[in-house]
Structure 1
């Protein structure tokens, strides 16, 4: 996968997590969504950090990508537990991003 395509996937995942995070805050039972919200934030931040590391040619790209894959998978697994459309969409892109990170490794 070329670098530009990978950066697009990272950005798409971060944006999807931000959207899910915001939508979860509007759900009737926000407390039930707390772990989803937490993981959405973690995932969005690590995806943006990895994109930044790639753009500056960090010597730690593989380590950050490993962590990014783990967090994306955790976020996807959490989102899959919720029936909301925003959670299901987020889970799909998080798994796509996790797979892209693994491909990079």
Structure 2
């Protein structure tokens, strides 16, 4: 996006979304969105980020459970809640650590 320089500041919102989406189509990216308060805020921007299964990641933090629920389609089995809390505490609230651990566990054999 640096090649666009100050043009970014002059763009309308829809033009900015389209430009960002085009730039990200062929690239891997890491997007960090901190402290989201409303589900519609996430819904508004999620369409900008293409899902090309190329290892790109989006890290979103929120304090609100209803915003976090937008992401999860599967419930955590009750027998994993306690160990999940222990793992989360060991990550000391670091979003990247949680994403990495979550990714590893998601790929692990379910035994």
Q: Normalising by structure 2, report the TM-score.
A: 0.24
Q: Normalising by structure 1, report the TM-score.
A: 0.24
CA radius of gyration, larger in? 2
Whichever structure has more strand as a proportion of its residues is 2
Whichever structure has more helix as a proportion of its residues is 1
